[in-house]
Homo-oligomer: A and B are copies of this chain.
Amino acid sequence: MPQAASRNRSIVLQQRPHGAPDAGTFRLTATPVPAPQGNQVLLRTLFLSLDPYMRGRISDAPSYSAPVEIGAVMVGATVSRVETSRHPDFEVGQLVLGYSGWQDYALSDGAGLNKLGDDVTLASRALGVLGMPGFTAYMGLLDIGQPKAGDTVVVAAASGAVGSLVGQIARIKGARAVGIAGGADKCRYVVDELGFDAGIDHRAPDFAQQLVAACPAGIDVYFENVGGAVFDAVLPLLNTLARIPVCGLIADYNATELPPGPDRLGLLARTILTKRIKMQGFIIFDDYGPHFGKFFAQMSQWLKDGKIKFREDIVDGLENAPQAFNGLLEGKNFGKLVIRVTQD
């Protein structure tokens, strides 16, 4: 069932998952393509971004955004083409970055839409290196992490959309970059292709010892996007005055209960105290929205200068989004995960 002009396929939340999303979590539906009213534009989705934060949006646990309602279309950033326009600022055929969600078509009054260049082969960058993931890596590392030359910066999911950029930006700032990833291929990639100083496989039985060996001077910045066993290995290596930007905790997203004891909450607090550590959560657009232009200009320059590389993991077909999303939570993607909703 590919994209068509006559119907709008959409993926809606059918029920909240207990643990990992399963076959009952999402449902593919089709409805008539809506007609723009007033000053609306009709957008046709070309690319849909899949990102770990979406796991939080389908849970009803307290979080930083309201959950997606049961029966509602899944949210997500998209690159779309303007199909019909009643809005003076948008012309048919233009490419825009927006938030149409997991569906073929969406209406918009223009709020929150950003026009992109004409090159559709570059459009998906707006969902990755030049979009939310890139902005997240840039601000979290530079504003909270504040790496100095010679510092050791550790990041997990190091071949992913955010982690790959955290390590490369750390290198640009003169720091050592230690990446943690799942499997030998990803570890080789972050070292050989992205220039990290070390790549460590978190699936290795001696992972914690390998991390010790890769951080002989301890850890000054730990960019937290996974939690779980990686954080356990990082904790004893943190240096005095270390900084921990907390961007995500993907290892815990599917957890249904707290792990068994002992209770290390006090241990973490004691480490923060005795090592004078700063640990700070952030939500990129809420905390740093006004800085987007600065980020975009800098990242574009780095791309142009060949200082930043990136990799996309493109999956074809809207109907494959649920499976690809589960793979993302399990670390199966390799690079920024994007759904190509249609070949345009």
Contacts and interface: CB of A to CB of B under 8 A. Distances in A.
Contact of A263 (B258, B269, B282, B286): B258
B266 A248 contact: no
A138 B141 CA distance: 29
Nearest to A276: B281
A282 B276 contact: yes
B276 A279 contact: no
A268 B270 contact: no
Contact of A228 (B227, B266, B273, B274): B266
A246 interface: yes
Interface in A50-83: 56, 62-64
Contact of A274 (B224, B258, B259, B281): B281
Interface string A260-281: 1111111111101111111111
A260 B258 contact: no
Contacts of A264: 258, 263-265
Interface in A84-128: none
Contacts of A344: none
Nearest to A271: B281
A252 interface: yes
A184 B85 CA distance: 69
B287 A281 contact: no
24 contacts: A62-B274, A64-B275, A227-B266, A227-B270, A231-B269, A246-B273, A252-B270, A258-B264, A259-B263, A261-B261, A261-B262, A263-B263, A263-B264, A263-B265, A264-B264, A265-B265, A265-B268, A268-B269, A275-B281, A276-B280, A276-B282, A276-B287, A277-B281, A278-B279
